[in-house]
Every structure is written in structure tokens, then in C-alpha cells.
A and B are shown apart, each in its own frame.
Chain A
Amino acid sequence: MKNRLEEFRKQRGIRQEELAEILQVSRQTIGSLENGRYNPSILLAFKIARFFGTAIEDIFIYEEEESK
């Protein structure tokens, strides 16, 4: 799933390690999320959206073709 996590993170001026510490996940998870290699659970997606003060859909982009 495509996402704008890296864009949002850089706007805030925080490193992957700092975001991982805040969200209580590992730095590798943040890296995998930003590369699109890993899709977060709904709980983690909510936590991320809440941290950035935005909706989940603004960060994570669901495209119909992905489900095929």
C-alpha cells in the first residue's frame, strides 16, 4: 500500500527512530512502512494518523488494483 508517511514525518522534522519511539514500534517497522514493504494494522494506522493529526486516508492510499 502506498503511503505518505515519509512525507509527513519529514514535515515534522523527526527521524525514523524518534517516530518509532513515539509509536512504540521498532525503527525497522517505520522503514518498512515507508518503503511500502509492510502494511500496518488498523490500530497502528490509527495511532500514526492521530500522531500527525490527520485522517488515515490522508497518509495511507488504498488503490483498488492492490486488492487483486
Chain B
Amino acid sequence: MIAFAIAAPFAFALLVRLIPQRSLRRAARTVLTVIAAALPFFCAGSIDRLSLLFAGIVSVLGLLATFFSEGIFADDWTKGYAIWSSKPIYFILLGAFWSAMLLVVLAQNFALLWLGISFTTLATAFLVGYSGEEAALEAAWKYLVLCSVGIAFALLGIVALGHVSIAHGIPPAAALSWDAIEAHGTTGATPLARVAIALMLVGFATKAGLVPMHAWLPDAHSKAPAPISGLLSGVLVSCALYAIMRTLGVANALGAGPFAADLLVWFGALSAVTAGALMLAQTDLKRLLAYSTVEHAGIVALALGFGGPLGWFAALLHVAAHAATKCAAFFMAGIVAQECGSTELRRVRALWTMHPAGGLMLAALAALCGLPPFGLFVSEVLVVLAGISAHRYAPLAFGVLGLALAFAAIARVAIEIEGGVATHVATRRSGRFTALTTTLALCCALGVAIVPWSTLGSALLALAASAGGTP
């Protein structure tokens, strides 16, 4: 069942391609996408709760991104310079991307998890360079090279982890299974165990866009088509953070927990403050949102580094809230690009009065700022509390500074693009379907705000307590 759930999005995308009639193809895509999104939930009995949570994020946002792509897909998207710039290839690559992310979160060991991360690079390199424009190709190239180097180091760490596991008496077949390693446990970390954990963290942090391995992220996330940007920022980064969470669990079991936590805390602090500062200098909406992803990944890394049930709960809530919010923000950036012909900030004005998406964009930007009642507000408060309870005041100060800088940058942009006098005439009206799916994505973000007081909140808290028992 798990294998079927993983393969479904890609297989269904290929299947839809075989249908000759256009209207039938569209209907089939809708039905099959819903089925593909539902399948991981039927695996609940055979995967743990952490995997289920992330599979839910991947599935729900994968579904929304597919619908949104259908609604926003413009004719000129197929006039790219590259040979892969066509609608059928786009949906096949999107299905492959979705399947790869499911492989990451449903894998039971590091070898398959790594394979999933590697698959995401294969699918998304062409999606980043989809338009075939020079800048998009440049972004795709940087993405491919930097992420390949990063995940090569992660693989090296995984190999070293296998060596350590086998040396501790774990059978080779289970040497890369986090369940086996955590069940076995060890007393003290060997130097090689530390090297393995460091390499894995650096590798996965590259994919998560943590500073200083972030150079590819703003380029790739800003040059991809809007639905793909949403998935890259909201979901792929979450998958990389999931890999970091699994690594942290294993690090705790190998006695390298404090070492891994220290590393994550400083990656997180550096990411939050660097991205926050760079956000102030941005002149493009999508690039601003991309840097915001670096900042939020940093906040999650900080929370994980602070550790304990509170830190883990904050991290999980932040990942879920950020995924939904960032998808919504990028979807709306796609609408802005179609309406204004550009996402350059100087060309985007009076969104509030010009388009219904203007209000939604303002809500998304408010959510990204961490304003109540959005989920990110709750999670950011919890991260601060986790930092205080862990007595990690220096990195916490950097994190808070990063949040303040990001708030200033987003608030400035929100005022600029929502107000003012329109400098353009709307060229195209995006379909209702587009706005609907965008709203749905935003509702997810809003819904997450009430998580701490709901049943789901209790389940998340229990999960955090079991996952983050060791600081």
C-alpha cells in the first residue's frame, strides 16, 4: 500500500497523458489527483505519526498545487525555449515531484529517504528551468549543482552512519533504519558518529536552504512557475526538515544529540538573521518570499536545536503552518504575475483595489509576518519559549532579530503593493478556480492557528513529546 501511495501521483500523471480528449483529460486529472492525495492516509496503520503528518502536508498541498496549476496554466507557458516547456511534461514532472516527496516522508530508512530527496532534484530541476529563459536556466543549474553536492555529502554521512550502526552490532539490513538505531541506542558518540551526523545535517540543510548552504534557494524558488515555487518553498523544504528531524532522532540515539542540536541552533540563528536582512533589500515579490522561506527554515532549525517537547512541538507546528502559508503566498504571487505582467515590486501596485487576490495576498503576508491569528504566530511564540526554557539566549536573540527584520521587510512590501495607484491595466483575469484553490490553501494556514486548542494539537503534542524527549 505504501509503495502504491508513493507511486500514485507519478503513475496517474502518466495515465492522464494517455487520454486523448482534452475535457476528459482534465476531469480524469481532477479525480486521480484527489485519489492520489487520499492514498497516504490509508497507510496510517503502517507508518509512524511523524511520517503521517508530513505525508498529510505533502498530499494536501500537492493536491492544491495541481488544481492551481490547472487553473493558472497560461498558454504562453508552453512557448518556452526549452524542449521540456510543455503542459503534459509539466504535469508529469509535477507528479514525479509529488511522488518523490512522498518517498522522502514514507521511507523507513535513510537510504530510501535519501533516494527520495535525490528524486526531487531530478523532477524539479526541469521545473525550475521550465520557462527556458536564461535566468530560469541559471537558477536550475545552481539548484542542480549545489543540491547535488549537498545530497552527496548527506549520502556520505549515511554511509558513515551505516558503518557506525554495524559496528554497534545492528544487522546490515537494518543499519540505516532509524527505528533500529533508536531501539538499539548507544552510550557515547564516536568521532565517526559525529562526522556522520554532521555530514547528514549539512546535506539535508542544503536542501532545506539553511545558511550558508542557501545560495540556490532564492534563485530556484523565484524562477520556477508559481505552483512549483509554492511546493518547493512550502513542501520540499518541509521534507528536508523532516530528514533533519530523523537525523536528530538518530543523533540522540548515538549519543551525539547535543552536538547535533548545537549545529542546528547556529544554522538556524544564522539563517534567520541573514535571510531577514536580505529580505529588506529585495525588489521582487517572489524573491522576497523565497528569502522568507530561508528565514522560516531557520526558525524551525532553531526550535529543533532548542529541543524538548516544546521545541519539537513548535517546530512541527511551524512546518505545517509555514507550508500552507507559503504555498498560498506563492500561488497569489502567480496571480499577481499574470495580472501585472511581473512580480517586480515597483510594477505591482494597488492590489487591494484591483483584484480579489489582493486581500488574500495581504492575509498571506500578515501570516508570514507572524501576526495572530495565524499558525505562525503561535509557533513563533512557542519557539521563543522553547529557547528561554533551554537557556539558549544568544541564538534566540539572533532568531528574534531575524523575525524582526523579516517583519519589517514584509510589512514594507505589503504597504507598497497593496496601496498606491495602479501603474498598469489588468491584462488577464485569472479563473475563479485559481482564486478558490488559493483561498483553500490560505484556510489551511488559518486552520493551523487553532491547532494548540484542538484534538489535532493534542496529537501533535504527544508526537513532539515522543520525538523530542531528549534535548
Whether both chains belong to one complex is answered with: no
Chain A residues close to B by CB (< 8 Å): none
Chain B residues close to A by CB (< 8 Å): none
